[in-house]
Amino acid sequence: MTSPNLPAFASIQTADPVAGLYVLVVNPTVADRGVYTLTIVATDTSGQTASRSIVVTVGYTPIVTNVKLVQNGSSFKLVVDGALFAAGEASITIDGEQVTPVKYPAKFVDQGGVTARRLQTKSSRLAALIESGGTSFVRVTNPREGIVSAPFPITR
């Protein structure tokens, strides 16, 4: 059993040599965040080979626990609370529309600086995206690994 593109954080270990069972073991670090396509190649005793590709995603799944729209006169600010937002990278969408710029308040960035618990954005588009009397859905994406939070409803 081999893999021509096995990343350094992964290994193939023999589970049962008689049955021909192997285990893919992954032990990634923060630096390994991303999406990887791994190809596993098996060769039988007669030299015949078969291969399989799998996708391994290493990263954080953002969790949204609260969303608040704050109005100050004619301007709006969206505050998104939760966990595992990629600090300096996470993006916010409202009903599929990306909202920028995103700020990562320092006091809500977790130790090590990799993840944050709060995101904020001010945009003139917020009032149009979250219509009065309607419900919209906010999602947070950690783009390096392409992982998106579950939708979180907000009503204005």
pLDDT digits (tens, 9 = 90+) for 49-98: 999 999 999 999 999 999 999 988 888 999 999 999 999 999 999 999 99
**Over the chain, what is the mean pLDDT?**
93
Distance between CA atoms of residues 141 and 101, nearest Å: 14
pTM, entire model: 0.81
pLDDT tens per residue across span 30-60:
999 999 999 989 888 899 999 999 999 999 9
The domain ranges of the chain are: 10-58, 63-155
Q: By C-alpha distance, which of 102, 83, 94, 90 is closest to 131?
A: 94
Torsions phi, psi for 140 (to 5 deg): -115, 135
Distance between CA atoms of residues 34 and 14, nearest Å: 26
pLDDT tens per residue across span 124-139:
889 899 988 999 999 9
Distance between CA atoms of residues 8 and 4, nearest Å: 12
Q: What is the CATH number of domain 63-155?
A: 2.60.40.10
Provide the pLDDT for residue 77: 95
